[in-house]
Structure 1
Amino acid sequence: MLEVSNVNTYIGKIKIIKNISLKIKAGEIVGLIGPNGAGKTTIMKTILGLTKFTGSITVGNRPVTETNHRALARVGALIEHPVIYPFLTGRQNLELYARNKRDLTQLVSTLQMDSYINNKAKGYSLGMKQKLGIAIALLNHPQLVILDEPMNGLDIEATIGVRKLIKRYADQGTAFLISSHILSELQKIMTQVVLITSGKIIVDQPIEEFNKTSKQKYKVLTEDNNRAMSLLQKEKIPFILKNNFLVIDQKNIFAIQDVLLKNNIHLQEILPLEASFEELVVNILDRERGKEDGR
C-alpha cells in the first residue's frame, strides 16, 4: 500500500529525514514513534508530497512527488491540527469531501458527533475538532490513512472509540501510519513498530517481535547474594543489584547458573522481568544516544 525507499527530506539545505525506507501493507497499523523533534511529522508530510525530498515514495504502486499527488486520491490524513472551515458546520465540512452520504452519517454516529455536527465548527472544543478531523480522514474508505497524534484532546471514552474505529477499518483492509505520544493506546492496535530518532529509523519490527525484547532480563535471588556478587564480579559477568535481588541479562543466565553451582550457592528464585512498552522504547533511545555520544 505504501513504499518509502531511501528518502531524504530537506528543510532549506538541512537534511531532516535521513535515508529512510519502510513498507506498509493493506490492513497493517504502523506506529511511528520517537522523541520530540525526531522527524515523525516531517516523514508524514513527505509521504503526502508536502516537502522537498529525494528517493522514492509510492502509494498503491503509483509515485508521489512534490508536483504529482494523484496517487494520494485514496489517502486520508490528519497532520498536526484538523484543517476545517470554522464558519461551516461540522456536517458541511464533511460534505466537502464525502462521496457517500451513508458513509458520512455512519462516521458522525460512530464518533458520537450527532449533538453538535450541525453547529458551526468555530465553536468546537479541541476534542470536537479532533473527531471532525479524524472523520474527514476516514471518509470514502481510504486505502491509506496517516494520523499525527489522533488522540490529542480526546477524553477516555472518545479515545477508546477512535481506537476501535481504526481497528475496524484496518480489518477491512485500510493501512494506517499513526504517530502518537500515547504509547499505551498505540500499543493496543499497532501491528508494526517504527522507532525514529534524529531523522533515522532505528527499529522497524512487527509488534510481536518487538515485545519479545521485554523479557530479556531476569531476576535472580540466591541464598547468599553478597558472595554471589563477588563471584560474578570476579568472572566479569554484569549484573545490577535491585531490591535485594540481582538483575541479569538473558544471555548470561546459563553462565551465572554455572558459577553458582560450581561454588555451591543455591538459587532461591529466577524469574523473567518484563519491561513495559514505554521502558523498552526509552532503553532503545538511550542506547542510540550512547552510540552517538561515543562517536
Structure 2
Amino acid sequence: MLELHHVDTFIHHHRIIDHVSFSIEPGSIVGLIGPNGAGKTTIMKTILGLTKFTGQISIDQQPITENDHHALASVGALIEHPAIYPFLTGRQNLVLYAHDPHDLENLVRILQMTNYIDHPSKGYSLGMKQKLGIAIALLNHPRLVILDEPMNGLDVEATICVRQLIQHYADQGTAFLISSHILSELQKVMTQVILINQGRVIVNQPIADFNRLNHQDYHLTVEDPTVTAQLLTSHHIPFKRNDHQFVVDRHTIFTIQDLFAEHHLYLQELAPVETNFEQIIVRILDEQRRSA
C-alpha cells in the first residue's frame, strides 16, 4: 500500500530524513515512534507530497511527487492540527470532503459528535476538534490513513472509541501510519513498529517479533526449586529466585530446558516477564546513542 525507498528530506539545506525505507501492507497498523525532533511529522508530510525529497515514494504502486498528488486520492490524513474552517459547523466541514452522506452520518454517530456537529466549529474544545479531524481523515473509506498524534486532547472514552474505529477500518483493509507519544495506546492496536531517531529508521519490525526479541527475562515455575537452584548454579546459569519461581535471561532458556529434560525435571510455567513498552523504547534509544 505504501513504500518508501531511500527517501531523504532537506529543510533549509539541513537533512531531516536520512535514507528512510519501509513499506506498509493493506490492513496493517504501523506505529511511527521516536523522540521529539526525530522526524516523524516530516516523514508524514513527505509522504503527502508537502515537502521536497529525493528517493522514491509510492502509494498503491503509484509514485508520489511534489507536484502530482493523483496518488493521494485514496489517502486520509490528520497532520499536527485538524484542518477545519472555524466559521463552518462540524457537519459543513465534513460535507466539503464527503462523497457519501451515509458515510458522513456513520462517522458522526460512531465518534459521538451528534450533540455538537451542527454548531460552529470555532467553539469546539480541543478534543471535539480532534474527533472532527479524525472523521475528515476517515471519510470516503481511504485505503491509507496517516494520523499524527490522533489521541491528542481526547478523554478516555473518546480514546477507546478512536482505537476501536482504527481497528475496524484496518480489519476492512485500510492501512494506517500513526505517530503518537501515548505509546500504551498505540501498542494496543499496532501490528508493526517503526522507531526513528535523528531522521533514521533504527527499528522496523512486526510488533510480535519486536516483543519477542525485547523480552529480556523469563519466569520459570518449577516443582522442585531446591534441585533447580542447585542445577542452575552448577552450570553457571544466573538466576533470581522467589520461592518456586525463578527469573532467568532469555538467552539461557533453551539450555535450561535441555538440562531439565536430562535430569527429569518438569516446568510448571515458562513465560516472558512483562516489560513496559516505553522502557523498551528508551533502552533501545539509549543503546543507539551509545553506539553512535
Partner of 2:64: 64
- 1:131-170 superposed Cα distances (whole Å, 9 cap, x missing partner): 0000000000011000000000000000000011111111
Partner of 1:197: 197
Partner of 1:262: none
Shift, 1:121, TM fit: 0.6
In the alignment, residue 172 of structure 2 is paired with which amino acid? Q
Q: Which moved more, 1:127-136 or 1:57-66?
A: 57-66
Distance 2:257 2:121 in 1: 65
- 1:50-79 superposed Cα distances (whole Å, 9 cap, x missing partner): 111100000111111111111001100000
Is the contact between residue 8 and residue 17 of structure 1 (CA under 8 Å) also seen in structure 2? yes
Distance 2:82 2:51 in 1: 19
Shift, 1:273, TM fit: 2.5
Is the contact between residue 214 and residue 274 of structure 1 (CA under 8 Å) also seen in structure 2? no
Distance 2:241 2:126 in 1: 44
After TM superposition, list the pairs within 5 Å mapping 1:29-44 onto structure 2. Answer: 29-44=29-44
Is the contact between residue 214 and residue 276 of structure 1 (CA under 8 Å) also seen in structure 2? no
Partner of 2:85: 85
Distance 1:195 1:276 in 2: 16
Is the contact between residue 149 and residue 178 of structure 2 (CA under 8 Å) also seen in structure 1? yes
Shift, 1:250, TM fit: 2.1
Distance 1:149 1:272 in 2: 30
Shift, 1:276, TM fit: 2.1
Shift, 1:242, TM fit: 10
Is the contact between residue 7 and residue 20 of structure 1 (CA under 8 Å) also seen in structure 2? yes
Cα 1:216/1:90, change in 2 over 3 Å: same
Quote the RMSD (CA, aligned, Å): 2.9
Cα 1:283/1:122, change in 2 over 3 Å: same
5+ residue gaps, structure 1: 259-268
Partner of 2:266: none
Distance 2:33 2:190 in 1: 11
Count the aligned residue pairs: 282
Q: TM-score, normalised by structure 2?
A: 0.86
After TM superposition, list the pairs within 5 Å mapping 1:185-264 onto structure 2. Answer: 185-218=185-218, 249-252=249-252
Cα 1:42/1:231, change in 2 over 3 Å: farther
Is the contact between residue 240 and residue 248 of structure 2 (CA under 8 Å) also seen in structure 1? no
Partner of 1:132: 132
- For the residue of structure 1 that corresponds to 2:201, the secondary structure is strand
Identity %: 63
Partner of 1:263: none
Shift, 1:213, TM fit: 2.5
Shift, 1:218, TM fit: 4.0
Shift, 1:256, TM fit: 8.7
Distance 1:62 1:270 in 2: 47
